Amino acid sequence: MPTIAAFTLGCKVNQYDTRAMIERFIVDGYIETPFEDGGADVVLINTCTVTTVGDQKSRQAIRRAHRLHPCAAIIVSGCLAQRDSGTLAAMRSDGVRLVLGTQRRSEVVALLEEALQQTEPLVAVDGAIEREFEPLTVSASGEGRTRATLKIEEGCDSRCTYCIIPSVRGRVRSRPASEIRSEASRLVSGGYLEIVVTGVNMSAYGKDLTDGNGTALTLADAIEAIADSGVKRIRFSSLEPGIVGSAFVERIKRIPALCPHFPLALQSGSDTVLKRMGRGYTSAEYMRAAELLREAFPDSALTTDVLTGFPGETIEQFEETARFVEAAGFARIHVFPYSKREGTPAARLPGQLTSAVKAERARRLIELGQELEKRYMARMVGQVRAVLFERTSDGGCEGYTPEYVRVFADCVDKRLSGSIVKTRLTEITERGVRGVLIGR
């Protein structure tokens, strides 16, 4: 039987899309094999184009795939394929046979068969804006048997000045709540205890859909549909501050399965920089959203993304961001130095900073984030949390609390992998928090 391997770059949406395409091949009689093993008949590379580094890594992955799988037909999909299909199609000598963007993933098997009938790579890249939500589904995560990703939305209507994604993913298209409920139920039937909800801009979910009364749906409707499946845990992959109002918080706090972990995107703590970024909120509005979540979910983990070194960012504006990050008391922050992305308004702004300045500011924020993470974990010591153990190693168990705190515990029962166990958190270590198992 033919074999297929895959390599995914970028976000959880890409991970979901890869899984959906792999399952199309499995239904058609292919056997999935690990990418690192080499020798597959078909290799799928799902690319990223958020930054120039993402572009470089995507092209490197294609070349590496050809070295590991020299006889394979290589499919290149995803955001870079959508944005620069010609360059990728020119990699014929690296095994590329099909270039597929952010659409027509459900046709991937038929398109590959068509591509194999011709001498030149087939480019099957359509405009992303005109399409409806593509009916992709998954029955397994491909990352173990405890946590699965469920995609509820595609596209983004925001126009952040630094971001290329709306041009390659298209407008917001939401998945009907009935389909979300059905897929969640299939995942639960398959043994998954946690579902991670994802989308390109999932906070915009429902703006293009209405209920029976003509009222637009919201992200809360999607979360409630997933909760109907009986899943033990529901986790957000990202949130925008604009969605977090009193009505939204009132609805989600009534969902027992919802994990009190909120990845609320910040990008900058300076109102001046936020305005140049086109983010659509102020630092005060962001802080109010954080307060609403913490009032409803005490001890919740608030995590965020920060983009530093944006064009024109002064040292005073950087310091504003650093002070805001500390005042917000994040449990974890992901720091990204600004990367110039051709085709975005920010690439044309004056005041482009040097790589050295951006790296230094990123370093300072990373160190601050590490300190904040230690403070948050210290608050957890002595408390009991339900830990979903995801994998075991010799003599130990590893998993995550609902707040997404990494926990390690000594155990000999390998069956604990895929179980939720009450665990007392005892001390902070370099790897996370050590815990002692109490029981199920």
Please state, in angstroms and rounded to a whole number, the distance separating the CA atoms of residues 228 and 224.
Answer: 6
CB 270 within 8 A of CB 299: no
Report pLDDT digits (tens) over 358-397: 999 999 999 999 999 999 999 999 999 999 988 776 667 8
Instruction: Name residue 423's amino acid.
Output: T
pTM, two decimals, is 0.92
Q: How far apart are CA 312 and CA 94, in angstroms?
A: 40
210 beta partners: 216
> Within the chain, which residues score under 70 in pLDDT?
128-131, 141-144, 393-395, 412, 414, 440
Contacts of 397 (CB under 8 A, 6+ apart): 389, 408, 409, 410, 411, 416, 417, 421, 437
Query: Tokens 């990123």 appear where?
Result: 362
Residue 429 token pair: 């270590």
Whole-number pLDDT of residue 390: 82
pLDDT digits (tens, 9 = 90+) for 220-233: 999 999 999 999 99
Q: How many CB atoms lie within 10 A of CB 132?
A: 11
Query: From the centroid of its chain, how far is CA 378?
Result: 27
Scanning 306-440, the segments in alpha helix (DSSP H) are: 315-328, 355-380
Q: Which domains does the chain have, with CATH numbers?
A: 3-124 (3.40.50.12160), 147-378 (3.80.30.20), 384-439 (2.40.50.140)
Q: How far apart are CA 158 and CA 277, in angstroms?
A: 11
pLDDT recorded at residue 418: 83
Smallest Cα–Cα separation from 366: which of 427, 316, 290, 305?
Answer: 305
